[in-house]
Chain A
């Protein structure tokens, strides 16, 4: 009964390859996020979808493309991987509707991407 799950947990690949990370949440939330955590542990938001609509698109290279087939899933596809893409990528979800029970984000376990 994992709340937010990500696959794969580890991803090791060569420069120039294309890879995808998948995320699923079973919390019934309407908003999902992708974050990148670098080697210094700094957490930076990349994208957010609300009910399958892209609502946050930070300054991220075009090689990164999120896709949300439904509000329970948010995938991240990365083209032409570069060394600098090595990081831990976290998926998260939250409920946008305001109320004391709905405000926090729930995070997945992370995907550690290593580009060689």
Chain B
């Protein structure tokens, strides 16, 4: 079965510092991986995805993610955090063999302090 794990409920980082939000996955077949962000009282917004190709994927708002097949990880990163990046982040995997079901992680709350 496909699954996604986000081991940290919360990540705290100072503004201007680099940030990493961790995600590991378990899939059979090729992984189709996604990151979404949810601001308070809003729906999820797509940030970036890995389908194939370069292991470093660039997305919206200066975020990037590194796909690591050997470690089955897809960590979200940003070189310099902003206070406005504070939100809830979800990692997801798309299961192409199961009616395109998306499996979401439990979410990681990112707090960026000024």
Q: Is A109 a contact partner of B101 (Cβ separation < 8 A)?
A: no
Residues of B within 8 A of A55 (CB): 99
Contacts of B96 in A (CB 8 A): 98
**B residues lining the A interface (CB < 8 Å):** 32, 34, 36, 38, 41-46, 49, 51, 88, 90, 92, 94, 96, 99-102, 104, 106-107
**Bound Cα distance from A103 to B94, whole angstroms:** 8
Contacts of A80-109 to chain B: CB distance below 8 A: 90, 92, 94, 96, 98, 100, 103-109
User: A2-46, CB under 8 A of B: which get 1 and which 0?
Assistant: 001000000000000000000000000001010000000111010
A110 at the B interface (CB under 8 A): yes
Main secondary structure of the interface of A (DSSP, over half): strand
For this complex, 8 residue pairs linking A to B, each with C-beta atoms less than 8 Å apart, are A4-B43, A56-B101, A92-B44, A105-B46, A107-B36, A108-B43, A110-B42, A110-B43
User: Smallest Cβ distance from B22 to chain A, in angstroms?
Assistant: 17
Residue A68 interfacial (CB < 8 Å): no
Complex: A33 Cα to B103 Cα, angstroms: 12
Q: Write the residues of chain A forming the contact surface with B, with a CB cutoff of 8 angstroms.
A: 4, 31, 33, 41-43, 45, 48, 50, 55-56, 90, 92, 94, 96, 98, 100, 103-110
- Inter-chain contact total with CB atoms closer than 8 Å: 55
Alpha-carbon distance A56/B98, docked complex (angstroms): 9
User: Provided the pairs A56-B101, A100-B51, A104-B34 are in contact, do residues A109 and B107 lie with their beta carbons within 8 angstroms?
Assistant: no
Q: Note all chain A residues with C-beta closer than 8 A to B32.
A: 103
Select from chain A the residue with minimum beta-carbon distance to B52: A100
A24 to chain B, nearest CB (A): 14
Contact (Cβ within 8 A) A45 B43: no
